Structure 1
Amino acid sequence: MARTESNMIPLGSPAPLFSLPDAVSGKIDSLDELKSDKATVIMFICNHCPFVKHVQAQLVQVAQDYQAKGVTFIAINANDAETYPDDSPENMKEVAAEAGYPFPYLFDESQEVAKAYQAACTPDFFVFDGELKLAYRGQLDDSRPQNGIPVTGESLRAALDLLLQGKPVPPEQKPSIGCNIKWKPE
Structure 2
Amino acid sequence: MSLTTSKDLPLGTKAPSFELVDVVRNNRYSLNKLKGEKGTIIMFICNHCPFVKHVQEEIVRLANDYRILGFGFIAISSNDIEKYPEDQPAMMWKVAQKYNYTFPYLFDATQQVAKDYQAVCTPDFFVFDEELKLVYHGQLDDSRPKNGIPVTGRSIRETLDAILNNRKIPEEQKPSIGCNIKWKEE
TM-score normalised by structure 1 residue count: 0.98
- The CA distance in 1 between the partners of 2:161 and 2:8, in whole Å, is 20
For the residue of structure 1 that corresponds to 2:125, the secondary structure is strand
1:3 Cα offset (Å): 1.2
The corresponding residue for 1:62 is 62
1:23 and 1:107 in contact (8 A); partners too: yes
Equivalent residue letter for 2:60: V
The corresponding residue for 2:115 is 115
Equivalent residue letter for 1:161: D
For the residue of structure 2 that corresponds to 1:174, the secondary structure is coil
Equivalent residue letter for 1:155: S
Gaps of 5+ in 1: none
Sequence identity (%): 62
1:54 and 1:145 in contact (8 A); partners too: yes
Equivalent residue letter for 1:179: C
Q: Provide Cα deviations, 1:150-177, integer angstroms capped at 9, x if missing partner.
A: 0000001000100111223133200000
- The CA distance in 1 between the partners of 2:159 and 2:128, in whole Å, is 10
Runs ≥4 residues deviating over 3 A: none
- The CA distance in 2 between the partners of 1:180 and 1:2, in whole Å, is 6
- The CA distance in 1 between the partners of 2:170 and 2:53, in whole Å, is 28
The corresponding residue for 1:149 is 149
1:11 and 1:171 in contact (8 A); partners too: no
Q: Provide Cα deviations, 1:84-129, integer angstroms capped at 9, x if missing partner.
A: 0000000000000001111000000000000000001000000000
2:128 and 2:134 in contact (8 A); partners too: yes
Q: Provide Cα deviations, 1:22-49, integer angstroms capped at 9, x if missing partner.
A: 0111100110111112010000000000
1:22 and 1:107 in contact (8 A); partners too: yes
For the residue of structure 1 that corresponds to 2:128, the secondary structure is strand
Task: Trace 1:20-39 onto structure 2 (pairs within 5 A).
Answer: 20-39=20-39
The corresponding residue for 1:139 is 139
User: How many residues are treated as equivalent by the alignment?
Assistant: 186
CA RMSD in angstroms comes to 0.7
1:68 Cα offset (Å): 1.4
Equivalent residue letter for 1:106: L
The corresponding residue for 2:185 is 185
- The CA distance in 1 between the partners of 2:136 and 2:147, in whole Å, is 24
- The CA distance in 2 between the partners of 1:144 and 1:41, in whole Å, is 20
Equivalent residue letter for 1:113: V
The corresponding residue for 1:88 is 88
- The CA distance in 2 between the partners of 1:167 and 1:119, in whole Å, is 27
TM-score normalised by structure 2 residue count: 0.98
The corresponding residue for 2:53 is 53
- The CA distance in 1 between the partners of 2:159 and 2:85, in whole Å, is 34
The corresponding residue for 1:72 is 72
Equivalent residue letter for 2:38: K
The corresponding residue for 2:11 is 11
Gaps of 5+ in 2: none
